[in-house]
Amino acid sequence: MLRAGIVGLPNVGKSTLFNALTRSRKAEAANYPFCTIDPNVGVVSVPDERLAVLQTIAKTKVVIPAAIEFVDIAGLVAGASKGEGLGNQFLANIREVDAIVHVVRCFVDDDVIHNMGAVDPVRDIEVINTELILADIDACAKRLEKAQKKARGQDKEAIAEVALLEKTIPHLDAGKPANTLELDDQERALMRSFYLLSAKPVLYACNVAESDIADPSRNEFVAAVARYAREHHDAGSTTICAKLESDLVDLGPDEAREYLKEYGVTDSGVSALIRGAYALLGLVTYFTAGEKEVRAWTIKRGWKAPQAAGVIHTDFEKGFIKAEVVSYEDLSTLGSTAAARDAGKYRLEGKEYVFKDGDVALFRFNV
């Protein structure tokens, strides 16, 4: 299962958000720096309104949503790349995740300590990005030294590695994260083997006060983060109210809806964040739907039919023959598998078919 790491400065709401995402009190959320030391890990269901529709069509009581894993990582401070605070541990934990949800404090509250004195989300983003880039520069320099020795012996892989590192290091030295460096497919594949921290995809989560969640556009900090993320990192941002969502942990669904209604919203932003992290990881969903269950299956974008079948069972991939496929849009519009067949919307796809988000499938295989 792919992992998204929740990162940020101390006291920005990371652990509160983690508890909200996992509907738990698993992570300690306290008003002092480094209240999280060891990372908390939780599996989170991906909200998907399509499941309820498919459940009705399939006439089943069992629904299994897609899921991803979130990791609540210790807060970082300036100097982390040199071991300040919990720097070494923080960076090691980031190295183990596949994508980053960077929580940025966008609320003013004198009762909640800010370790840098005042709320300034763009500055906070730059502090963390600087530490990731500095750690990457150090890693690249060490890797370059080793690769250069091998390249002298005309090692083709080492020569390619040297060329990419000599392209990457000046980019990092300019204060730019590795994920903004223009690369071709071959270079991109090679860079993945470097495990650079700043190469990981990022989603910025603007943590706002309860009073801002109904209309985040009024919050100047949110606008500044969105602009900075877009212009400097080609990244997306979303708005959440971790405090509001954490208040819902102990409430039932009906009570939670009523509670949110008091703030003029139907969601605190956490559902959008989960879906955003899912997309950030390059994931899409296809479905199987029958009387036994409706289930969302997670695959990487661009996977072909045998790979998609393989997430159900390896035998499905090994013995793949054909996939019976109908799009969710067609199935939900027509209302039944039989109607989709009659309308010619049900089709047989072979090994080269690239699965799309929302495909509903039945696999033919032989072992």
pLDDT (tens digit, 9 = 90+) per residue, 211-238? 999 999 899 999 999 999 988 887 889 9
SS in 3 state form for the chain?
Answer: CCEEEEECCCCCCHHHHHHHHHCCCCCCCCCCCCCCCCCEEEEEECCCCHHHHHHHHHCCCCEECCEEEEEECCCCCCCHHHCCCCHHHHHHHHHCCCEEEEEEECCCCCCCCCCCCCCCHHHHHHHHHHHHHHHHHHHHHHHHHHHHHHHCCCCHHHHHHHHHHHHHHHHHHCCCCHHHCCCCHHHHHHHHCCCCHHHCCEEEEEECCHHHCCCHHHCHHHHHHHHHHHHHHCCEEEEECHHHHHCCCCCCHHHHHHHHHCCCCCCCCHHHHHHHHHHHCCEEEEEEECCCCEEEEEEECCCEHHHHHHCCCHHHHHCEEEEEEEEHHHHHHHCCHHHHHHCCCCEEECCCCECCCCEEEEEEECC
Q: What pLDDT is attached to residue 77?
A: 56
pTM of the model: 0.84
| Closest C-alpha among 213, 233, 328, 219 to residue 280 | 233
Question: In this structure, which amino acid lies at residue 350?
Answer: G
Using CA atoms, how far apart are residues 44 and 92, in angstroms rounded to an integer? 23
Q: Which two tokens stand for residue 96?
A: 């183990």
Q: What pLDDT is attached to residue 267?
A: 79
Q: What pLDDT is attached to residue 293?
A: 97
Domains belonging to the chain, first-starting first, are 3-280 (3.40.50.300), 302-365 (3.10.20.30)
Do residues 210 and 263 make contact, with C-beta atoms less than 8 angstroms apart? Answer: yes
Q: What pLDDT is attached to residue 89?
A: 67
Q: What pLDDT is attached to residue 233?
A: 81
Q: How far is CA 340 from CA 127, 143, 164, 295, 328, in A?
A: 54, 55, 50, 19, 10
Q: What pLDDT is attached to residue 78?
A: 56
User: Strand 294-300 relative to strand 283-289: parallel, antiparallel, unpaired?
Assistant: antiparallel
Q: What pLDDT is attached to residue 39?
A: 72
Using CA atoms, how far apart are residues 253 and 290, in angstroms rounded to an integer? 26
Q: What pLDDT is attached to residue 307?
A: 97
Q: What pLDDT is attached to residue 158?
A: 94
Ranges in the chain, pLDDT < 50: 27-36, 80, 84-87
Q: Specify the length of the chain in residues.
A: 367
Q: What pLDDT is attached to residue 180?
A: 93
Using CA atoms, how far apart are residues 94 and 97, in angstroms rounded to an integer? 6
